[in-house]
Structure formats: structure tokens, C-alpha cells
Chain A
Amino acid sequence: MSDTMPSLTDRIAALPGCDKTLARVLFGSALLALLLGLGFGWLTALGRAGVTGFEPLLAARLLTLHGVTVFFYWLYLAQAALLLVLAGAEQNCGGLALRPLAWVGCVLMLAGFAVSEISSIIGTPLLYDGGPALGRDDPAAVGWFSLGYLLLGAGLAVSSVSVIATVLSRPNSGTSEPLSAVGFALFAWAGFLIVSAIASVNAFLPSVLWALGLGAFPANQPTEWHILFHNLHYLPLMATVVVWYVLVQALTGVSSMHGSRFSKIVFASYLLFVPPTSLYHMFLEPNLAEGVRVVGSLLSLFVAVPTVMAFLIIVSSLEAHGRSHSSSGGFSWVRALPWKNPVMSAIACSALNLALGMTFAFVLIQEKVAPLLSDTFFVPGYFHFFAVGTVSLSFLAAMMVVLPALTGTLPWRPSLLNRMPALISVGLLIFGAAGIAAGFVGVPRRTFDISYGGDAPALWHTLMSAVGIGGTVFAIGLTVLVIGVARSLFQKIGDVTNQQPEVSWGNTPARASAAAWVGPLGVLVMVLAMAVFTVVAFELMNALPLIVIGGSGGHSH
């Protein structure tokens, strides 16, 4: 960003009215999806905790609705909205290029939202991966469900074209000046969304054709789903670090001290690492060649490299600037951050939750452990640290900056909202710790009735009760945060942009001698935690009184 560039909130406030309307429609729809998905998820957690019982069909429907609504429509409507607004702001006053395409994209995504929700409510529940095997007797349900995702993918692709055109039509377009780091990140992010739309066609078009009687049964859908699913892991994390990058600059004035070029390399590395690291999703495939397993296991070690690099850039830049502005040492620069601003609290909590999620993700993706844990409650136990604690918190933090600027409102009760990220994180900690422990002791992932006629260990019920308590706590925090954020969409108070506490560390460059060790130390602690929990996982697995009779030869394990 050049020195003469207006602030992010000023650039958003200056967007043309039609772009603001589009953004409000998308943000509003995203928040609606989050509230709906949260409700379905909370009911699911209560069912898993044994507070209330659900018939198996209803339980499967709740799981489907929860996954579809949150994992697809909340995360991707929010991404589309953020991409379009940030691209428009990058363009600085001119607004979106190819605006009609952005609107067509919005209509397609909302149509997909409606189709997916209705088909999940009235059709055979297929879970969020839309596996056609579950709907073999109900092709119409499979067809409509798959069509919903195809519409979402088409909408994301069309909107992304508008984003790319907007980024390329900045005021200095036509010169040899490179894109800004944020502009490049938006460009790469939009490209990645288009590829993911292609992956959704690859995964779901055969299902639609089969439902129409125009193709064979899509027996390969689970494999094709994994390709899309891999992208869907990376996209929200890439979006999260771009959001952190933008928000830290907006809150503190600090941009990367490592230079724009290095930031671009890190953003590009997301795209570089996507295909090579995809193999670990196939570890459950029984026919996967042993050599492919070994290569996939080695490559999976690189899966977190871009996110760790982005984290280090942001934290080291912040620390060096903070120390340059602080006369006392230690952690005084941390205390000087604008902690009364809920955006700051949300970013900090999301970083902590990311570290927790990453620690256990690395335990899970190891080739020897994955088959034992993938169908247990370990999976929802750890991935809510990502989905809720990292990505959702970061997106909501971005909305707390963007929406008041879009609508000219004051943020609603910032002191109350400022407490929500911590409350959500506490709930997640309870949910995650109990869920991960439940996974280690064998609680199945998608089975609501885990009594097994009274044969199940008593510990299972205790752990799942804790899952229900943790889920309720973070659902309360998230609901308050969403309502607070959503009020900025509707309440027009005056020509007021975000006036929450900020610091201005970016006006002067960081001292060359300023230390920046907190980021590397944080990564070191995370790596040590990964090692410890990996050892714990193997020890627990070895200690389980498990006897499996193999299909070929009856080997005991």
C-alpha cells in the first residue's frame, strides 16, 4: 500500500452504492448461513451428548444440514463477500470491474444455497460430501443436492472473474508497477476459487447426470470429492491469513517488514503446495499403493508451511514495530496492542486456535494413525479449532471492520463483543479436548447412539457430555458475536466509520535491532506439541485391546 493510499475503512466507505448493496446481500446471506448452521450444529452436539435423542434419519439430516450450511455456504459466501469488498477497496474508489458478473455470481450462489438447504431438508440426507451411495434409491435427492454445490461453484467462479478484473484495473493499471501484496493475494485467492469450482464440477456433475438418466452411477465420486475437499481445506486458511494481513495493517498500520515481494511468495506458496500435498486424503483407500502412501506421508509434512510462514511474517513485523515503539522490553509490545478492540481479540484467539488445530491435524494425517482415527470423534474434535476458532473468528473480525465502513454505523456494543472470542475459545477448548480424547478411546464420529446396548465404556458418555457443554458455550459466544456483527448491516446511525481503538506503529519503520522472537517461539512450541501428541497417539493405539481380523489371511493387529 502506498503512503498516500486512504485507510481501508475510507476506501470501503467510498465504494459505489451498488457494490455496497451487493456486499451487504452477500455478508447478510453468509451470516444467515452461519446462524442456521450453528443451530443445526448445536442440536447435533446435544444429540451426541445424549441430552436429547434423534431418530437415525433425523440425526443424519441434522449432520447434513450442519455441514452443508456452515462448511459450504457460510465459509464461501463470506469469502466471496470479503474478496469482492477487498478487491473493490484495492481499486480505490472505482468499485468493481465487470460488476454484472459479480451480481450473477451472487444470484448463483444464493440459488445454490436454497437448493442445497431444501434438498437436505426434504431429500435423503447424504451428509455434506453428497455421497451418491447413500442415495442410490433416491436419484432425485442426489441430483438436487449436487446441483446446489454446482451452483455455488459457478457463482464463486463468476464472482472471482470480477475480482480478478478489479485487481487488474487498479488506478496504476497499464504501468509496469507490480500488484500490491494484498492485490496479489486477492488475485491468487480468486484463481484458487475458480479451480475449486472446476473440482466441484469434477466431483458433482456425474451425480447430476446420473440423476437425469444421462450417465452411469458415479462410483468414483468419493475419490473425486477428496480432490475438492483438499482445496476446501486450503482455501479458508489462505483466506484467513489474507484477512489477518489486511486487519493487522488496518489496526496497527504495520505491513510486512520483509517486503511486499516476500509476502507474495508466501501467498503464492498456498497454490504451490496444494497439489503435492493432496495425497494424504487417500490414506483410507484400501487399494492405495504402498509407495504412494509413503510419498503422500512425506509430502503431507509440507501442508502447513504456507500458513506458518504467513503467521511468522505477520507476528514478526508486528513485534519488531511494537518493540520499536515501546520503551520497556519483554511483552510490553503485546500489552500495547489495542485489546479493547474486538477485532484484535478475535485475531489473537484465532491464532491460538490455529496452533491447537494444527497440532492435532498433524497427528491425524500421519499414515499409520489416519486409518485408526479418521472415523472417530477425534475429527470433529480437532477441526472445530480450525472451522470455528480460526476461520470463522477471522471472518467475523473482518466483518467488524468492513460492515461499519460499508453502512456507516457504529459497531454494536464493542465491549461485549470483545469478550466473545475468549468465550468461544474456552468453549472450543472444552469441546476439542473432550472430542479428541473421545476419539482416542474410540467414540465413533457419525453415530448418535453410542450405548451399544450398554456395552460402551462409561467414559464415552462422560466425554460426550463435555462435548455438549463445550459446544453450547461456543455456540452462545458465536451467536452473540454474529448478532453484534449483523446489526451493522441494518442500523444506520450516521456517517461514522470504525472508531475502535487502534495503534499507529506503521508511521515509522521498525528499528533494525528490534527483536522478533515470539513468532518463532510460538511455532517451536507448536512443533513440540505435535511431537508429544503424536507419541501419545501411538502409545494409546498400541495400548488398545484391539483385535482386527483381516479380510485376507486373518492377521491380528
Chain B
Amino acid sequence: MKEDALLILLVFVVWAALALIYALVPSLGMPGYVRVWGAGAALFLGLAGLLTAVRR
């Protein structure tokens, strides 16, 4: 189970990092990327938590 949650957590890290880059570099001019990748990051963090909680 741990491997499942870790993989989804890794997805969260990548998506959150991309959302942060788009948020912190305004010259990229793509606020939509912040919203979608950021919401996706939050979702995958929740799913990783769910995997951990359900299997505990």
C-alpha cells in the first residue's frame, strides 16, 4: 500500500511544483495553469491521503 500512496504523492509534488512555478513567474502569463495544476495537486494529495487512511 505504501508504494501506491508514495507514487500518488510524487504526482502531487510534480503538479504542485509546476503550479508554483506558474504562480511565481508572472511573466509566463498563464494563470489557468496555476488553477488547474494547483487543483490537481490538491486532489492528488487528497488521494494519497485516502490511500494511506483506507489501508491503515
Contacts and interface: CB of A to CB of B under 8 A. Distances in A.
A268 B43 CA distance: 15
B24 to A, nearest CB: 14
B39 A198 contact: yes
Interface size class of A (residues with CB under 8 A): 35 or more
A223 B43 contact: no
Contacts of A176: 1-2, 55
B33 A278 contact: yes
A276 B14 contact: yes
Contact of B50 (A168, A202, A271, A278): A168
Contact of A289 (B15, B18, B28): B28
Contact of B3 (A203, A223, A264, A271): A264
Contacts of A375: none
Interface string B1-38: 11110011011001100110000000111101101110
A275 B1 contact: no
Given A178-B4, A199-B36, A223-B30, A275 B15 contact: yes
Interface residues of B, number: 30
B18 A265 contact: no
Given A168-B51, A173-B54, A179 B1 contact: yes
Contacts of B28: 289, 292
Given A173-B54, A177-B1, A179-B1, A268 B10 contact: yes
Interface string A521-536: 0000000000000000
Contact of A275 (B18, B51, B55): B18
Contacts of A227: 32-33, 36
Given A178-B1, A191-B43, A261-B3, A202 B54 contact: no
A191 B40 CA distance: 9
B11 A272 contact: yes
A449 interface: no
B25 to A, nearest CB: 9
A167 B28 CA distance: 39
25 contacts: A168-B50, A168-B51, A168-B54, A173-B55, A174-B55, A175-B55, A178-B2, A178-B4, A188-B11, A191-B43, A198-B36, A199-B36, A220-B32, A223-B30, A223-B32, A227-B36, A228-B36, A264-B3, A265-B7, A268-B10, A272-B10, A272-B11, A275-B19, A289-B28, A292-B28
Given A176-B2, A261-B3, A289-B27, 7 more contacts: A164-B50, A179-B4, A198-B36, A203-B32, A265-B7, A268-B11, A275-B15
